[in-house]
Amino acid sequence: MVIALLSACLFLVSPCQTGGAKPRAIILIYADDLGYGDLGCYGATRVKTPNMDRLAQEGLRHTSAYCTSATCTPSRYALLTGEYPWRRKGTTVLPGDANLVIEPGRATLASRLRQAGYRTGVVGKWHLGLGKGKVDWNQPITPGPLDIGFDSCFLLPATGDRVPCVYVRDRTVENLDQGDPIRVSYGKPLDDSPTGKSRPDLLKMKPSHGHDMTIVNGVSRIGSMTGGRKARWVDEEMADTLTREAVRFINQSGDQPFFLYFALHDIHVPRVPHPRFAGKSGMGPRGDAIVQADWCVGEIMKALESRGLAMDSLVILSSDNGPVVDDGYQDEAVAKLGDHKPAGPWRGGKYSRFEGGTRIPLVVRWPTRVKPGNQSAALISQVDFLASLSALAGLADPVSSASDSQDQHAALLGNAPSGRSSLVIQGLGDGPASKLAVRKGDWKYIEPGNGPKKNQATNTELGNDRAPQLFNLVQDPGETTNLAHQETIRVREMADLLEKIRMGAP
């Protein structure tokens, strides 16, 4: 006990590489599909997000922050590994029975912070695969987060709309009855139980595209699952369950500094908020899920405050990709959208190489180091979190496998006006075959490709074109005027820059 206290004191007074005390705790609240325009502090008016807005009032609001990719798995891969996901095949949106895509032993955001003395935990949506080979959900599942730097985990293995619809605590399925083993298939249905397709009358929310296989809690999902009935989640309770686990992690950390990666399920589909949030936004379940996500943020702050940690802890709020309105369920999101703009001023949304796909909210609160109430237009990517948070935690040595991750801690905290000189944006696609875009200064270049212009199902403009596209994001934030014809030299320079980065240049 004495030793623990002593080391905690030493930790607190030891300066970090960046000229100040290390954060007492680091909490990364990572929302799912939350758009730039979905938060009050980024301009939303109809849906209220008082807890998120308070973070921004007490901290720094970034306006030029990006996730690496317009979907979940690749953005999370980059966030944890510090490597652009398009360098690696197999990092696209994963099925629920996929294997872990980050190899054990590799440096991750979690392993780095653990090395720096932090207790590390992940609670919430994982979607980076689990296990190796055919996963047996009835046995300890390995490898997983515990093999890439986390001391504990409590997970949704993939997404809310993908089987298996169970939680995994550390290596095992929570509440599993061994007499009712779980089986999962992403091929043929495993039995002839009713599905969303065969028995839509059993559903409380019907799919609009896909999502018509196994029914769990009255909602049909992607993939087939049998067994594990006692272990299946109840969507309405998910935000409470995950928040309880996150708060427990905070409270159990004692005197040790800690890093919590709290990956919300909200506001991904299926949007089935708790009854106390249902109807609260007037915008249907999508808006209600935002209200619920905001509540989760408030609970985390309460937990930090009640432990006296809110002043010297770093809290980061962000999202894994841009927003989508109809993402496969008939949940009134389109009908009740009105004049709400989920992507704010940006064009496109989730799945898109237009700004709406990857320009995400990023709020940073750390009262002892970050001035309250400011905003920053510094260029910053979530791929930088590994190097930047490592530096803030006192580790300055570079990580060779994280060569895309730049130490942008000064920009992250609002102390550097420009941040990165350039960054790469991924829309859809897997690994090196992905079509990309690059931003440098005020300019954005979208490389040509054959993909469809629009995702008809989600009604999203994808940013694809057979011709090169060049936009000046300062004069034309809505990417309405393609300047590629006028600016041929700049197009060449941007294409060359993208090629160099593809070949490994920073």
Q: Which of residues 222-261 bind ligand NG6 (CB under 6 A)?
A: 222
Candidate list 61, 268, 369, 420; residue touching ligand NG6; CB under 6 A: 268
Which residue number, 11 or 36, has a Cβ lying nearer to Ca ion? Answer: 36
- Separation of alpha carbons 173 and 182, rounded Å: 9
Is 159 a binder of ligand NG6 (CB under 6 A)?
yes
Residues 6+ apart with CB under 8 A from 416: 378, 408, 410
- Is position 156 an interface residue for ligand NG6 (rule: CB under 6 A)? no
Task: For residue 65, list its beta bridge partners.
Answer: 380
Q: Which is nearer to ligand NG6, 144 or 427 (CB)?
A: 427
H helix or E strand, kind and range, residue 171: none
HEC string of 363-389 equals EEECCCCCCCCEEECCEEEHHHHHHHH
Tell me the C-alpha to C-alpha distance, in Å, between residue 125 and each of 28, 32, 43, 311, 452: 13, 8, 27, 27, 29
Sign of CA dihedral 84, 90, 96, 99: negative
Residues 84, 69: contact at Cβ < 8 Å?
no
381 binds, among ligand NG6, Ca ion, none (CB under 5 to 8 A by kind): none
CA atoms of 417 and 429, how far apart (whole Å):
32
Q: Which residues, 6+ apart, have CB-to-CB distance to 488 below 8 Å?
A: none
Give the nearest distance from C-beta 53 to Ca ion in angstroms: 22
Cross-strand pairs, 121: 152, 260
Does residue 161 bind ligand NG6 (CB under 6 A)? Answer: yes
Q: Which is nearer to ligand NG6, 211 or 369 (CB)?
A: 211
Q: Which one of residues 41, 72, 272, 379 is an interface residue with ligand NG6 (CB under 6 A)?
A: 72
User: Can residue 127 be called a binding residue for ligand NG6 (CB under 6 A)?
Assistant: yes
Ranked by CB distance to ligand NG6, the top (closest) residue is 210
Asked if 209 interacts with ligand NG6 (CB under 6 A), we say: yes
Q: Which stretch binds ligand NG6 (CB under 6 A): 206-214, 290-298, 431-439, 495-503?
A: 206-214
Q: Is 211 in the site for ligand NG6 (CB under 6 A)?
A: yes
Q: Of 316, 310, 264, 327, which is closest to residue 291 (Cα–Cα)?
A: 264
Return the range that interacts with ligand NG6 (CB under 6 A); candidates 131-139, 207-215, 275-283, 403-411.
207-215
Partner whose footprint covers residue 22, from ligand NG6, Ca ion, none (CB < 5 to 8 Å by kind): none
d(CA 174, CA 129): 17
Q: Which does 211 bind (CB under 5 to 8 A by kind): Ca ion, ligand NG6, none?
A: ligand NG6
**69 or 214: CB nearest Ca ion:** 69
Using the rule CB under 6 A, is 285 a contact of ligand NG6? no
Query: How many Å apart are CA 208 and CA 4, to the nearest integer?
Result: 54
Q: Where are the beta strands (DSSP E) in 17-118?
A: 25-31, 60-62, 65-66
- Please state the separation of Cα 110 from the chain's center in Å: 15
How far apart CA 354 and CA 471 sit, in angstroms, is 10
- How many other β-carbons are positioned within 10 Å of the β-carbon of residue 210? 15
Measured from the CB atom, is 222 or 296 closer to ligand NG6? 222
Please, which residue, 29 or 72, has the CB nearer to ligand NG6? 72
**Count of residues binding ligand NG6 (CB under 6 A)?**
17
* 222 contact choice in ligand NG6, Ca ion, none (CB below 5 to 8 Å, kind-dependent): ligand NG6
Kindly tell me the number of DSSP H helices and DSSP E strands found in the chain.
Answer: 9, 22
Q: Site residues (CB under 5 A) for Ca ion?
A: 32-33, 72, 320-321
219/399 with CB nearer ligand NG6: 219
Nearer to ligand NG6, 126 or 346 (CB): 126
Q: Is 195 in the site for ligand NG6 (CB under 6 A)?
A: no
From the list 112, 109, 110, 93, the residue with the least C-alpha distance to 101 is 93
Q: CB under 6 A: which stretch of 131-139, 170-178, 204-212, 418-426 binds ligand NG6?
A: 204-212
Shortest distance in whole angstroms from residue 32 CB to ligand NG6? 6
Shortest spacing between CB 90 and Ca ion, in angstroms = 18
The interface with ligand NG6 within residues 303-322 (CB under 6 A) comprises: 321
* Interior angle at CA 376, CA 375 and CA 377, nearest 5: 135
Q: Which partner from the list Ca ion, ligand NG6, none does 120 bind, CB cut-off 5 to 8 Å by kind? A: none
Considering the rule CB under 6 A, would residue 286 count as an interface residue with ligand NG6?
Answer: no
For ligand NG6, the binding residues (CB under 6 A) are 32-33, 71-72, 93, 127, 159, 161, 209-211, 222, 268-269, 321, 327-328
